[in-house]
Amino acid sequence: MKNFNVLLAIGLIATVIACNNNPKTKTSEASTDPTAEEPKELVIHDYLKEGNKGIGPITSFTQPAFDQAVADEGNKLFIVRCTMCHEYGEDKLGPALKGITKKRTPEWILNLMLNTEEMFEKDPDALALKDKYESMMISVGLNEQEAKSILEYLRQEDAKSN
């Protein structure tokens, strides 16, 4: 078991390093071309307000003003804790997460991250996912602030795919 944990840790570190060295994520110098279009400002959408809230500690959610630092922290956490089973744009062991903040309430998403086991035992929407995918989501030990950071990252990504 100790060897497995060491291999898992090495794999996670390699993933983080690979993602952080991705040339697509590096910023480029400003264009000196006067005819170049100004980049469009990203408009962050509102979370879905109506629908299943899930089962767990989050019974209500007040949308905060968008905070880039929180979304950036969520991106880091997503890479380390979620990408073993999820990708943003395509199914992996679990479903693709593209559009999740437009399909599910923030309470449901947070409760799934924070109260995974009970959600997959009692929540009808989680049970439907359990039937569709071979492996069931496991708890990755997030606290509430970490889960909210990942949620804000997903919200930012969903705003880009309008």
pLDDT in tens, 106-158: 999 999 999 999 999 999 999 998 888 878 889 999 999 999 999 999 999 99
User: How high is the pLDDT of residue 134?
Assistant: 77
User: How high is the pLDDT of residue 27?
Assistant: 36
CA distance 146 to 150: 6
pLDDT at 33 over 60: no
Does domain 47-160 bear CATH number 1.10.760.10?
Answer: yes
Poorest-pLDDT segment among 20-34, 42-56, 71-85: 20-34
What are phi and psi for residue 148, nearest 5 degrees? -65, -35
For residues 11-25, give the mean pLDDT. Answer: 42
pLDDT at 88 over 80: yes
CA distance 129 to 105: 16
pLDDT in tens, 45-70: 677 788 999 999 999 999 889 999 99
CA distance 110 to 44: 19
CA distance 92 to 85: 6
**Residue 162's pLDDT band (cuts 50, 70, 90):** low
Closest-CA residue to 19 (of 69, 65, 68, 82):
82
**Residue 7's pLDDT band (cuts 50, 70, 90):** very low
User: How high is the pLDDT of residue 37?
Assistant: 52
Per the CB < 8 A criterion, the answer to whether 126 and 112 are in contact is yes
Average predicted confidence (pLDDT) for the chain: 80
